[in-house]
Amino acid sequence: MSEKLQKTAITPDTHTTPPAKFSHGVRKGNILQVAGQVGFGPAVPGQAPAPVGPGLREQTLQTLRNVQAVLEKGGASWEDVVMVRVYLTDTGHFAEFNEIYNEFFADLKEAPAARTTVYVGLPAGLLVEIDALAVLG
Amino acid sequence: MSEKLQKTAITPDTHTTPPAKFSHGVRKGNILQVAGQVGFGPAVPGQAPAPVGPGLREQTLQTLRNVQAVLEKGGASWEDVVMVRVYLTDTGHFAEFNEIYNEFFADLKEAPAARTTVYVGLPAGLLVEIDALAVLG
Amino acid sequence: MSEKLQKTAITPDTHTTPPAKFSHGVRKGNILQVAGQVGFGPAVPGQAPAPVGPGLREQTLQTLRNVQAVLEKGGASWEDVVMVRVYLTDTGHFAEFNEIYNEFFADLKEAPAARTTVYVGLPAGLLVEIDALAVLG
């Protein structure tokens, strides 16, 4: 590794500016880290971001799409992801979440990512947050 | 890095199939990520996984053994681990958890992994979840 | 990668010995992982570590300084960090935390790190915990 690795912020067109000095995703070398995504719909200029629906299904699918947008903007795909961290607010959501997760990843070809699921607090209205670590190459 | 890195799912013989499309561990290049492990005993065909005991000690030791099984199946050991994430359900468990952790790692030769400990919700009956990131080579 | 990578524990002078067999930070190859840091003031021999103040501002700034001490002792800086994990205890702290975070990172030159923020339990008196992953080179 004789050349300096470039560190690049990843900002999908669908995403609003983060509410603080962090990036939706960062790539450095062959590591791509996706920041915690929630179920916000595509950014609308002049409007604050809002979750796509009150339900777990809509929020989970949108959250996964938001992670995917960062991956793709950074030159990666779900096939490159080695770790997914899932933050839910209610242990009662585990079974339904897994169904949705399985549907979403039905066509995955490579080994599925590892995953950790824990139950935490999230801002009002949010039921799920997901981040991901990808190794490219 | 001219060759494509292979991404490999790691499935120890002792582990049940994950409840959704994720892997117990994934290795890609020199990165090995272990998914969140809990204190489930060795898989018994036809039976749902269950924690080894109601107490913190038994669950913690089994959880650490489950992380270790993934590491070893992936060609790594605790000596390669750079980060351990510990999820407990009760701040009152911190001191006892540390005692058990220290006993378990008494013979570690390399620098111990970094660690973050936070208190979250887990499914009923589980007191601890642990995941780990290893860098091989 | 034909040579064995060295794994090094990082122990800033300002830090007390961890309460269990883990390291404040670990570097292996071009990966540097900082363990979860809290708002403890600089170590005083013979005294247990204590947070610098009851308020979010003081604790957050001290926590960030503690992360920075590990980065610097390991030969890295905030410019190398790709992921910051923030654990808060109260969703009501999000806005103020972001203000402090932005002030702290006002002079950052490279792309800001990705970030995940979740709300968890922490030992009594602690309002924030932060860990970080850096990719050097």
Q: Is 70 exceeded by the pLDDT of residue B18?
A: yes
| pLDDT confidence band for B3 (50 / 70 / 90) | confident
- What is chain A's percent helix, strand, coil content, to nearest 5? 25, 30, 45
Cα–Cα distance for residue pair B52/A93, rounded to 1 Å: 24
Q: What is residue B2's predicted lDDT score, i.e. its pLDDT? A: 55
Tokens standing for residue A86: 């899932």
Nearest Cα of chain C lies from the Cα of A12 at a distance, in angstroms, of: 13
Nearest Cα of chain B lies from the Cα of C35 at a distance, in angstroms, of: 5
The whole-number average pLDDT for the span B53-74 is 97
* Cα A46 from chain centroid (whole Å): 23
Nearest Cβ partner of A115 from B22, B31, B87? B22
Tokens standing for residue B41: 């005993």
Smallest CA-to-CA distance from C129 within C118, C99, A126 is with: C118
The whole-number average pLDDT for the span C55-81 is 98
Testing the interface with B: which of A79, A82, A96 to mutate, by most B Cβ within 10 A? A82
The whole-number average pLDDT for the span C43-70 is 96
Q: Is 60 exceeded by the pLDDT of residue A1?
A: no
The fold adopted by the segment(s) A7-135 is: 60s Ribosomal Protein L30; Chain: A; (3.30.1330)
Q: Which CATH number fits domain B24-40+47-135: 3.20.20.30, 3.30.1330.40, 3.50.50.60, 3.40.50.620?
A: 3.30.1330.40
Q: Is 80 exceeded by the pLDDT of residue A33?
A: yes
Share the mean pLDDT of chain C: 96
Residue of B nearest to A103 (CA): B21
Burial B24-53 (b: 16+ CB within 10 A, else e): bbbbbbbbbbbbbbbbbbeeeeeeebebbe
Q: Do the Cβ atoms of C111 and A26 come within 8 Å?
A: yes
H or E, element range at C8 = strand C7-10
Nearest Cα of chain A lies from the Cα of C80 at a distance, in angstroms, of: 8
pLDDT tens digit string along A41-54?
A: 999 999 999 999 99
Q: Do the Cβ atoms of B21 and A108 come within 8 Å?
A: yes
pLDDT tens digit string along B104-114?
A: 999 999 999 99
Nearest Cα of chain C lies from the Cα of B45 at a distance, in angstroms, of: 36
Share the mean pLDDT of chain A: 96
From residue B78, give the alpha-carbon distance in Å to each of A31, A87, B104.
Answer: 22, 26, 11
Nearest Cβ partner of B21 from A80, A112, A119? A112
Q: Is 70 exceeded by the pLDDT of residue C96?
A: yes
Smallest CA-to-CA distance from C29 within B32, A105, B102 is with: B32
CB neighbourhood size of C135 (10 A)? 22
Q: What is residue B33's predicted lDDT score, i.e. its pLDDT? A: 98
Residue type, B128: V
Q: Is 80 exceeded by the pLDDT of residue C23?
A: yes
Domain ranges of chain A: 7-135
Q: Do the Cβ atoms of C91 and A124 come within 8 Å?
A: yes
Compute the count of residue pairs across chains A and B with CB atoms less than 8 Å apart. 90
- Which residues in chain B are contacts of A102 at CB distance < 8 A? 20-21
| pLDDT confidence band for A3 (50 / 70 / 90) | confident
